[in-house]
Chains A and B, each alone.
Chain A
Amino acid sequence: MREPRSLHRFYEATEQIVTIDRDSPPRVMFCGEDLLVEDLPIGTKVIYPKPPVQGLPNVKAAIRRAINNPHGCDPLHALLKPGMKVTIAIDDISLPLPPMRTPDVRQQVLEVILPLLSDSGVDDVHLVIAVCLHRHMTKDEMKRMVGPAIFDAFYPDRYYNHDAEEPDGLVTLGTTAHGEKAIINRRAAESDLLIYVNLNLVPMDGGHKSVGTGLTNYEGVKAHHTPHHIRHSHSYMDPDRSEMHRSVDRIGKVIDGALDVFHIETTINNRMFDGPLDFLMKREEAYTELDRLKVTGMRAALKHLPAAAKRKMFQAVPAAYEVIAVAAGKTEPTHAEILKASWDQYAVDVDFQADVVVYGMPFISPYNVNSIMNPLLVQVMACGYFHNFYRGKPLLKKGGTLIIAHPCSDAFDPVHHPSYIEFFHRLLAETRDARVLEEKYEREFAENPTYVHLYRTGNAYHGAHPFFMWYWGENGREHMGKIIAVGADNAHVPKLMGWDTAQTLNEAIDMARSIHGRSAEIAMMHFPPISMTQNLG
């Protein structure tokens, strides 16, 4: 590590924001499945994630403490009666990213509560993966998530994916004052007790969103997955300022009024990489000679590997996440405790907004685990998730320029994302207006029998899902003045997205400066791991 030359530099070595100086080392950033090493202009502020919060030393003890001391209700064992019907809903593979090392926290929760259910004479237990309109998890993925013992005991009759298109598989529990229908999985609705086992990767997850979204169908999701809701969410990582969450909460209250729901929520730290990839957790000032060697070696190897091999390599490395909080009980107080822990990990205080923001786009999103990060997913990560990683004011000024590094390859996974292909090539060529897309095409895709069949019997995302991906970038697109893609391997993908292109990061910064002036304030979010800016001034 370089010796800090002044107190100011020492401060920067320990805080989350580094200002690029004349002697600053270049930054390492993702560009899909490649790594870029780029010198940033002097004065650029690079925002790093906080160091990982210490993991709980004994996760199962924390789970037991949580279910024995729940928020707002009796302990779990007191809610159980012999012969009762229980459904345990669990979050799907879309989180965490990448999938965590085994045992997954969901397995650990199940290993605590399933014996408790059995000891209480509760044998009618189903495990339902709350996929909503996400793709169904494969048998191997399901086995990995809960471990072989639970898998063997429950799969396939009592451990399965929620089917949002099963004609008789859903029940309407009621309607909110705003006309939103609370529709959920029939088995869950007809159970004496519904237990939801959640993993909060980001503050958007969990709470009322778990049951109300995870176990519903297209009509249920449609209530809040609209361009209008996203446009009025500032951001959707901040539930208090999210129109989408207001709708989700209204629906959740109807569900809580109709059903006994016991939530077990968990959250994890941001230890996404360790071992050979641990340099990705460090700021470049702290790189050792070995780290620099790793970067050089890795870049050389990646340069010569085909995209599929690189994808396989990155996705084969599970994350070293550790559980940092577990809470249980009624929906809202349970979620509040977990949200606090989540923000404590992710929130980085900033007191500025930048004219230009740079993201190195990684190889993974919630929707391409074991698959390709297609152009729509690049879009949802850039304009959706990353833009929404803020509380208070966004990092980018209104009308500012976003620069992303990603090859933007025209590559889609026909097994996971068949409807995305038609959406991208047929619809985006006609319009990028989310309201027009919603009005004119969304239902057509949602009801397309081919997509319905692929969703139900294969591992495809629902026909309506690409629309939601487009809407999820809506507040970002509305906020940004220009988006520049660096390193795109083709011209038509950025063009269809409405993005400009640049060969290099320097060229992109020059383009941005031509709009915002030479004194434009530039910031870079050093993703991944995840961090979120908090600008409450």
Chain B
Amino acid sequence: MPDLKRAAFFDVDGTLVRTNIVHALAFYAMNQGSILGTAWQTARTVLSVPMFMITDRVNRKTFNELFYTYYAGQTEDRLETLAEDLFEDVLQPAIYRGTPQLIAEAKRAGCRIVLVTGALDFTVRRLAEHLGADDLIANKMRFVNGVATGRVVPPIIEGAHKALVIRDYCVRNGVALEKSFAYSDSFSDYPMLAVVGHPAAVNPDLRLARVARAYEWPILTTKEE
């Protein structure tokens, strides 16, 4: 049997950076190109926050579907252009102190670095390059005639689907799941963690910390000084 490669799969929000997908949406809302547009989008986003929180608690998939409708009507060019500023102004300063070291250690161990995130691909592509990731698995916005429809290309990358796409990735790239690593901060990523041979909780929320202790998964921090 050939010696299969191994990979390290990283969730992004809360694991590698302190921001989440709402920060990206807020950034776009506040950079609409016109004062009126900015004010309208910002107010709409702010007013929607309680709804986002409730939906997220009820169902992550519904949350994502609802959330991405807020991108509807924006042009692809604009989203791509602003992604550079999003990285420099929002994401780069939010990278946890321990993130580069953790990724470097995974590289030294011979792992392919793969970011697996529910964020939209154009919002995190620059971050993935900066962190030296080999691959990025993220949600893709559906565009029609260069305009965002507000719907993502299925399957939506979240929860259990992260485990599925990781499995597919391993099959396509000759990577051994049982030799691979996964890192996440959230209980919602339990399937992604459970599918690999070496899961670890990073800056875990309470539920994931409880699961990690129960399964004796290592618990890491990347955010401490």
Tell me if A447 is interfacial: C-beta within 8 Å of chain B. Answer: yes
Chain B 183-225: CB-based contact to A (< 8 A → 1; otherwise 0) = 1000000000000001010000000000001001011110010
- Tell me which residues from 453 to 482 in chain A have a Cβ below 8 Å from any Cβ of chain B: 453-454, 456-458
- Tell me which residues from 100 to 139 in chain B have a Cβ below 8 Å from any Cβ of chain A: 101-102, 104-106, 108-111
Contact call B101/A457, Cβ cutoff below 8 A: yes
Chain A nearest CB from B102 CB (Å) reads 5
Interface of A is mostly: helix
CA distance A452 to B107 in the complex (A): 12
Contact call B218/A454, Cβ cutoff below 8 A: yes
Tell me if A367 is interfacial: C-beta within 8 Å of chain B. Answer: no
Please name 9 pairs of A and B residues whose Cβ atoms are closer than 8 Å in the assembled complex, sorted by A.
A421-B216, A448-B198, A449-B102, A450-B218, A452-B108, A453-B101, A457-B101, A457-B220, A457-B221
- Tell me which residues from 66 to 109 in chain B have a Cβ below 8 Å from any Cβ of chain A: 98, 101-102, 104-106, 108-109
A421 cross-chain contacts in B, Cβ below 8 A:
216
Tell which of A418, A448, A454, A458 touches B109, judged by Cβ atoms closer than 8 Å: A448
On whether A449 and B111 interact (CB within 8 A), knowing A167-B104, A457-B98, A457-B101, the answer reads yes
A390 cross-chain contacts in B, Cβ below 8 A:
none
On whether A450 and B216 interact (CB within 8 A), knowing A167-B104, A167-B108, the answer reads no
Name the residue of chain B whose CB is nearest to the CB of A418: B218
Tell me if A312 is interfacial: C-beta within 8 Å of chain B. Answer: no
Q: Which of A412, A414, A453 counts the most B-chain CB atoms under 10 A from its CB?
A: A453
Tell which of B179, B213, B220 touches A453, judged by Cβ atoms closer than 8 Å: B220
Chain A nearest CB from B101 CB (Å) reads 7
B216 cross-chain contacts in A, Cβ below 8 A:
412, 414, 421-422, 425
Tell me if A451 is interfacial: C-beta within 8 Å of chain B. Answer: yes
Chain B nearest CB from A145 CB (Å) reads 22
- Tell me which residues from 138 to 172 in chain B have a Cβ below 8 Å from any Cβ of chain A: none
- Given A449-B105, A449-B181, 18 more A-B residue pairs with CB atoms under 8 Å apart are A414-B218, A421-B216, A422-B216, A447-B108, A447-B110, A448-B109, A448-B198, A449-B106, A449-B108, A452-B109, A453-B98, A453-B101, A453-B105, A453-B220, A454-B220, A456-B101, A457-B224, A458-B221
CA distance A425 to B215 in the complex (A): 11
Chain A 425-456: CB-based contact to B (< 8 A → 1; otherwise 0) = 10000000000000000001001111111101
CA distance A121 to B129 in the complex (A): 48
Contact call A453/B219, Cβ cutoff below 8 A: no
CA distance A449 to B183 in the complex (A): 11
CA distance A451 to B200 in the complex (A): 10
Chain B nearest CB from A425 CB (Å) reads 7
CA distance A454 to B200 in the complex (A): 11
CA distance A167 to B111 in the complex (A): 16
CA distance A213 to B183 in the complex (A): 32
B224 cross-chain contacts in A, Cβ below 8 A:
457
Contact call A452/B105, Cβ cutoff below 8 A: yes
Name the residue of chain A whose CB is nearest to the CB of B104: A167
Tell me if B16 is interfacial: C-beta within 8 Å of chain A. Answer: no
A165 cross-chain contacts in B, Cβ below 8 A:
105
Contact call B198/A453, Cβ cutoff below 8 A: no
Tell me if B8 is interfacial: C-beta within 8 Å of chain A. Answer: yes
Chain B nearest CB from A119 CB (Å) reads 35
CA distance A444 to B178 in the complex (A): 12
B219 cross-chain contacts in A, Cβ below 8 A:
414
B181 cross-chain contacts in A, Cβ below 8 A:
448-450
CA distance A458 to B223 in the complex (A): 12
Chain A nearest CB from B55 CB (Å) reads 33
A449 cross-chain contacts in B, Cβ below 8 A:
8, 102, 105-106, 108-109, 111, 181
- Tell me which residues from 354 to 398 in chain A have a Cβ below 8 Å from any Cβ of chain B: none
B104 cross-chain contacts in A, Cβ below 8 A:
167
B98 cross-chain contacts in A, Cβ below 8 A:
453, 457
Contact call A414/B109, Cβ cutoff below 8 A: no
Q: Which of A421, A444, A450, A457 counts the most B-chain CB atoms under 10 A from its CB?
A: A450
Chain A nearest CB from B25 CB (Å) reads 31
On whether A451 and B218 interact (CB within 8 A), knowing A167-B108, A414-B213, the answer reads yes
B179 cross-chain contacts in A, Cβ below 8 A:
444
Q: Which of B8, B213, B218 counts the most A-chain CB atoms under 10 A from its CB?
A: B218
Name the residue of chain B whose CB is nearest to the CB of A419: B218
Chain B nearest CB from A213 CB (Å) reads 23
Chain B nearest CB from A219 CB (Å) reads 13
CA distance A456 to B101 in the complex (A): 10
CA distance A447 to B108 in the complex (A): 8
Chain A nearest CB from B105 CB (Å) reads 4
CA distance A71 to B104 in the complex (A): 45
Chain A 96-131: CB-based contact to B (< 8 A → 1; otherwise 0) = 000000000000000000000000000000000000
A452 cross-chain contacts in B, Cβ below 8 A:
105, 108-109
Q: Which of A167, A422, A444, A449 counts the most B-chain CB atoms under 10 A from its CB?
A: A449
B183 cross-chain contacts in A, Cβ below 8 A:
450
Name the residue of chain A whose CB is nearest to the CB of B215: A421
CA distance A447 to B109 in the complex (A): 5
Chain B nearest CB from A453 CB (Å) reads 5
A456 cross-chain contacts in B, Cβ below 8 A:
101, 105
A414 cross-chain contacts in B, Cβ below 8 A:
213, 216, 218-219
Contact call A450/B108, Cβ cutoff below 8 A: no
